[in-house]
Structure 1
Amino acid sequence: MLNVTYKEEPITLSGEQLSVGDPAPEFTVLDNKMNPVTLSDFEGKIKLISVVPSIDTGVCDSQTRRFNEDANRLDNVKVLTISMDLPFAQKRWGGNSGINNVITLSDHKDASFGRAYGVLIEEMRLLTRAIFVVDTEDELYYVEYVEEATKHPDYEKAIQTAESLSEERGS
């Protein structure tokens, strides 16, 4: 069991924590137009899944912007940011921020992603900060649950994993 904190207070995560080599669980989230989106919708693509508590906070905003910048150099990689924010808020944030390389998705309806990936904070019904890199066969190649949810993830390791998968798969 992971010891994850939020503002240095212990939190409880729902679902099983995943590891490198595990199959990526299926999930259903909503896009900015309230349409359902699943893992299967990105079949055959490498997925870098950036999980944030709320897109409207400083670290989450920075994390999403950072991956948006890096997405330009990632061939055959879809960069997804998933949070519990409402699709309307994500759309507004995206429009105001100029983000165009990251797909923002909302898990607010069923917490399907949060439970499947072990990132749902029970006490707050938010998602804890995490990064997952999933290959074209939907196997997890990189997993990071950030120990303190208000801190930044290891951007470089996640990007390097996605880049190496992209090169390996001959995109």
Structure 2
Amino acid sequence: MATVTLKGNAIHTIGDLPAVGSQAPEFQLTKNDLSATSLADYKGQKVILNIFPSVDTGTCAQSVREFNKEATSLSNTVVLCISKDLPFAQARFCGAEGIDKVEMLSDFRNGNFGEAYQVTFIDGPLEALHSRSIVVLDEKGEVIHTEQVAETVDEPDYASALKALRDA
């Protein structure tokens, strides 16, 4: 179990992020067109998993905007923005914001991503949503960087994630 805070109050996830050097767990998520996708669909590419509670909060929205901006300069890399938001809300946000360089994916159907990556909150006001985290994978699906943001209202360390990606 990992402990983070929400405005200074402790909340917990079901476990810890996958370890650096480990093979990334498989998952199945829902795209905005309601089709399914899995980690296997991104084989051979570097992957940034931008994980967050809801795109309808300021910090989550900013992380999507920031990675969308950075994605234009990343070669052989896909940025997956993952939450339990419904695909309709994700599509609405992307349309309103002009977000078109990242993929929005939803874990609303069965929560298998949250379980596989151990980011599901088990208590507190965000219970059942995902902890703000970044996981970076190389082309072979190996975890090369992780960050579980200690204070949920804070943004992730974009520079560290992008450095790990570029150094891979």
Q: Specify the code of the residue in structure 1 equivalent to 2:41.
A: D
Q: Is the 8 A contact 1:16 1:116 kept in 2?
A: no
Q: Runs of at least 4 residues of structure 1 off by over 3 A?
A: none
| Structure 2: distance between partners of 1:84 and 1:51 | 10
Q: Displacement, 1:14?
A: 1.8
Alignment of structure 1 residues 22-171 onto 2, 5 Å: 22-123=22-123, 124-165=127-168
Q: Specify the code of the residue in structure 2 equivalent to 1:63.
A: S
| Structure 1: distance between partners of 2:16 and 2:161 | 21
5+ unaligned residues in a row in structure 1: which ranges? 166-171
Secondary structure at the counterpart of residue 3 of structure 2? coil
For 1:5, the equivalent position in structure 2 comes to 5
Q: Displacement, 1:164?
A: 2.2
Q: Is the 8 A contact 1:15 1:114 kept in 2?
A: no
Of all paired residues, the percent bearing the same amino acid is 39
Q: How many residues align structurally?
A: 165
Q: Deviations over 1:109-164 (max 9, x none)?
A: 11111111111012321101000000111100001011111111110000111122
| Structure 2: distance between partners of 1:72 and 1:113 | 26
| Structure 2: distance between partners of 1:57 and 1:141 | 28
Q: Deviations over 1:78-124 (max 9, x none)?
A: 01100010011001111111001010000111111111111101232
TM-score normalised by structure 1 residue count: 0.93
